[in-house]
Amino acid sequence: MAKLLLLAFFCISGVSLAFGSSWNYIANSGSGPANWTGVCASGTKQSPIDINSTSATYNPYSAFNLQYFGTTPAINFTGTNNGHSVEIAVPSNVYFVNGGGLTGNFTTGQFHLHWGSSDSKGSEHLVDGEQYAAEMHFVNFNVKYPNLTSAADKSDGLAVLGVLIKVGTTNAAFNNIANHFSKLVNKSSTVDGIASFSLAALLPNTTKFYRYSGSLTTPGCYESVAWTVFSEPIQVSSAQMAGLRQVMMNSTNSMENNFRPAQKLNGRTVYISYKKPSDHSTANPAAIPTKPDGAVVAKITTSLLLMMLFGALFLN
């Protein structure tokens, strides 16, 4: 019975716990990102990355189908401080993600946060060298696998939605989790019975995003993720961010700055789902004929004749 309970705990708590607590984000600890081993060190499709929006390849993906993201089903979420992040576990086979260029159908298993000690750092992904205050990851696993842990190391196992966060106005939807941060300050603390809310309210414009093939950003860094990073950030207030920054990694270290540095692209293609304004001419091509038609020629000819006539009259 005890073994079954332990197995259930690992399956529910997400993939990072499967690799223990021997790793962290502290640079000089000997266990920080520079010291992560295995695929984290040898992989060629690692995440996160610094997205270059100018060189991204346009791909007109179909619209996302985020099933039940806008509903409030009769379920509860569970919040956990796992020593690496604040994670909200979601019952599987309730929310589904497909479309948007994804191959397969995915169900949401959890979402979690990465953040920094200041408003200018905290997100894992960068866009054109800019880092945001935080980033939220909705981790979804392919329904062909029984759970998140089983899917984590499969090449088609995961689809993660990355939401960039900047500090600005208060985000009412974010309060659904921010109101519980004070109960998740200590490592291993848990909040049960968080009432479901609209996950869609935590998302920005879902038609504008970047897509690339990458990995988990935590050990064991499996290269199994179809990454979607939405290009438009959401906003949270300074007070909401302050609550997140109170969360502790352990009894002595704050959890802030729990982000992995950007990894090498190694020749991967990053796609963009929309054409940026710089991709278009500012003028309307339809309004500028490539060759003057007959009417235009006639107007020019008439104007020249009138100018010649008036010139002759004035000279005489």
Annotated catalytic, 137? Answer: no
Q: Mention every residue, 6+ apart, whose C-beta is less than 8 A from residue 156.
A: 103, 104, 142, 144, 224
Annotated catalytic, 222? Answer: no
Q: Considering 25, 61, 84, 132, which one is annotated as catalytic? A: 84
DSSP single-letter state for residue 248: B
Q: Considering 25, 125, 137, 145, which one is annotated as catalytic? A: 145
For residue 48, the one-letter residue type is P
Q: CA gyration radius for the chain?
A: 26
Q: Reduce the secondary structure of 41-70 to three states and give it as a string.
A: HHCCCCCCCEECCCCCEECCCCCEEEECCC
Q: Mention every residue, 6+ apart, whose C-beta is less than 8 A from residue 117.
A: 245, 254, 256, 257
Q: Is 153 helix (H, G, I), strand (E, B) or coil?
A: coil
Main-chain phi, psi angles of 5, to 5 degrees: -65, -40
Longest dimension (CA), the chain: 114
- Active-site positions? 84, 145
